[in-house]
């Protein structure tokens, strides 16, 4: 469910966020024109995207810790060989950390195309 929500937010990559003020229109991926988003809409979008990435990262970290603790309490001898450590959860957390860092570094409007590329890799 969180994956779908993030994918929906990343659909913003089709919007041209350039600060070129010579045109009030934007062209989407189908070649159709539509009004450029206002500054307020860009602020709200950026805030929502950063907040969602932060929440998703925190949730993933909690789930990873919970799964690690459960695995450790079941079989404390095999901590190094645990399935939790071998699973892709650690990679997902690192990907989310990278995405969150990129969203924070990008200034006012996050690099949505870069975030999308990170998400799909």
pLDDT tops 70 at residue 83:
no
Residue 107's pLDDT band, with cuts at 50, 70 and 90, is: confident
**What confidence score (pLDDT) does residue 33 get?**
72
Q: Return d(Cα 49, Cα 42) in angstroms, integer.
A: 10
> What are 27's strand-pairing partners?
33
User: 90 or 41: whose pLDDT is higher?
Assistant: 41
Which residue is it, tokens 């690099």? 111
**What confidence score (pLDDT) does residue 86 get?**
45
What SS3 class is residue 9? Answer: helix
What mean pLDDT is reported for the chain?
Answer: 77
pLDDT tops 70 at residue 79:
no
**pTM score of the predicted model:** 0.69
């Amino acid at each position: 469910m969180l994956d779908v929500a993030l994918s929906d937010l990343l659909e913003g990559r089709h919007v041209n966020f350039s600060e070129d003020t010579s045109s009030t229109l934007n062209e989407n991926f189908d070649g159709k024109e539509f009004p450029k988003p206002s500054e307020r809409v860009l602020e709200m979008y950026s805030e929502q995207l950063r907040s969602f990435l932060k929440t998703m990262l925190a949730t993933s970290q909690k789930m990873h810790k919970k799964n690690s603790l459960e695995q450790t309490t079941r079989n404390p001898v095999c901590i190094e060989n645990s399935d939790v450590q071998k699973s892709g959860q650690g990679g997902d957390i690192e990907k989310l950390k990278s995405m969150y860092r990129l969203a924070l570094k990008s200034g006012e409007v996050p690099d949505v195309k870069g975030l999308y590329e990170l998400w799909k890799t």
